[in-house]
Amino acid sequence: MNFLSLAQKIKDRQAVIGIIGLGYVGLPLSLRYADEKFQVLGFDIDASKIDKISKGQTYIEHIENASIAKAVASGFRATTDFTEISKVDAIIICVPTPLNKYREPDLSFVIDTVEKFIPYMRPGQIVSLESTTYPGTTDEELLPRIQSRGFKVGEDSFLVFSPEREDPGRKDYSTKTIPKVVGGYTSNCLEIGKLLYGAVIDTVVPVSSTKAAEMTKLLENIHRAVNIGLVNEMKIVCDKMGLDIHEVIDAASTKPFGFVAYKPGPGLGGHCIPIDPFYLTWKAREYGLNTRFIELAGEVNSNMPQYVMDKISYALNEREKSLKGAKVLVLGIAYKKNVDDMRESPSVMIMEHLRDKGAVIDYLDPHVPVFPKMREHKFDLKSIEMTSAKIASYDCVLVATDHDKFDYDMILNSAQVIVDARGRYRGNHAKVIKA
């Protein structure tokens, strides 16, 4: 199959879409293609996800069972069997790209995935990498592996990078309406990529290369990381001066130009913002460059969980209690409000610090009823009940993630002392320590 036949197949919605990695990125994308009447085949190494999809059940809070059941009824199917890659026309990779213990890029999930499907590739397929990574990954890691099978990329197979832009729980934008950046290895690759995503997404933004697309994603998230680092540092300065950073941000936000509000917090969470700066700083060293500005922001953000820990210790000391043996309740363990996404959550890092210091930890999170299995963190805990008596039984309550489902007035009235890392409690309260 050549360029023209694959292009026509996509235009006619006869192309079979294969999506590898059915998490917070891959599952919504699968549903989007299914909504547009494409046949979709999902791949994941987690058999429990495959089982739930087959039953029309969700495993991500903001995606409804009905959405999955509808997709399944229209032909959406998922499998752990990578030999079925030969049945699809598009291979879209949506797997994690974490950091290793040295804060260096860990591409093992991407490379393992490619090694799994490469033996079953056939002519006439497009491969798209959506996993966030450093500029050059697509050309350096995917291209030679595809070429090793004898394919001529741009002629009988096609390769693009198109960074994911999912924001779990967001109501004002969706997979369909968030513009999609696409960069191709060749001009033919780019054209196929534009067709592939243009069939299901309102706006496709083409760029000159896979590297440009990879760098675009890093810039988006480093922009946020740097600005959050700035406002986190401003929070510390305001605290020393007896000022409320949230009041200052609200006032600055009234300026109709030249200011964009970023909110401080207990640290960075999510799969992208805590990780992406390190991908670029690592790659920049290959060119003899030191990204000092980016690394400084990363240092500030990485220190925020310890800053919160110091505030907890202060709150307990003021009440003549030590951190060791203290009962501490963590409110919210997802990385941001109103979602169940635990990836890189600063709440978990604070919980580990508390555990290391001998505190007795519980958590309350209506979006995460049971502490999930995570690659690097382990707690055998379940979310407690949100009752006045329960809240009152803890020596300290930490507002780590400010879900809307919390009864903040009841918590304020019941708690012995509150450390607020999200600015939920405005003004001065005798039992609230701002962190």
- CATH code, domain with 284: 3.40.50.720
d(CA 108, CA 328): 37
Quick check: is 355 in a domain?
Answer: no
Give the SS3 label for residue 181.
strand
Q: Both 81 and 153 in a single domain? A: yes
- Domain membership of residue 26 (yes or no) is yes
Among residues 176, 208, 240, the one where a domain terminates is 208
Residues 132-149: what's their mean pLDDT?
96
Q: Is residue 249 a part of any domain in this protein? A: yes
In a domain, 417, yes or no: no
Q: Is the same domain home to 196 and 223?
A: no
pLDDT digits (tens, 9 = 90+) for 104-125: 889 999 999 999 999 999 999 9
Write out the two tokens for 241. 């001066």
Is 407 within a domain?
Answer: no
Do residues 18 and 125 both lie within one domain? yes
Residue 228 lies in a domain: yes
Which residue numbers are catalytic? 272
- Alpha-carbon span 325 to 229, nearest angstrom: 32
- The mean pLDDT value for 238-251 works out to 96
Task: Share the mean pLDDT of the chain.
Answer: 95
Whether 362 is covered by a domain: the verdict is no
Contact assessment for residue 22 and residue 78, using Cβ atoms and an 8 Å cutoff: yes
Q: Which two tokens stand for residue 421?
A: 């890392």
Residues 198 and 220 in one domain: no
* DSSP structural state of residue 142: I
pLDDT in tens, 7-22: 999 999 999 999 999 9
List the end-to-end C-alpha distance of the chain, in Å, as a whole number.
60
Same domain, 273 and 293: yes
Same structural domain, 215 and 83: no
Q: Within this chain, do residues 242 and 116 fall inside the same structural domain, yes or no?
A: no
Domain finish residue from 258, 273, 302: 302
Q: Is the pTM of this model over 0.85?
A: yes
Boundary residue ending a domain (208, 235, 268): 208
Indicate whether 157 and 201 sit together in one domain: yes
> Are 130 and 186 found together in one domain?
yes
Residue 141 and residue 167 share a domain:
yes
Residues 23, 147, single domain; the answer is yes
Same domain (yes/no): 170, 271: no
- The residue-averaged pLDDT of 139-158 equals 96
Q: Judge whether residue 269 has pLDDT over 90.
A: no
Please, which pLDDT band fits residue 1 given cuts at 50, 70 and 90?
Answer: low
Please give the Cα distance from 143 to 214 (Å, whole number).
15
pLDDT at 2 over 90: no
Count up the domains in the chain and report the number: 2
* Domain around 246: 210-302
The tens digit of pLDDT for each residue in 55-82 reads 999 999 999 999 999 999 999 999 999 9
| Whole-number pLDDT of residue 57 | 96
Q: Establish if 280 belongs to a structural domain.
A: yes
Query: What is the Cα–Cα distance from 299 to 287, expressed in whole angstroms?
Result: 22
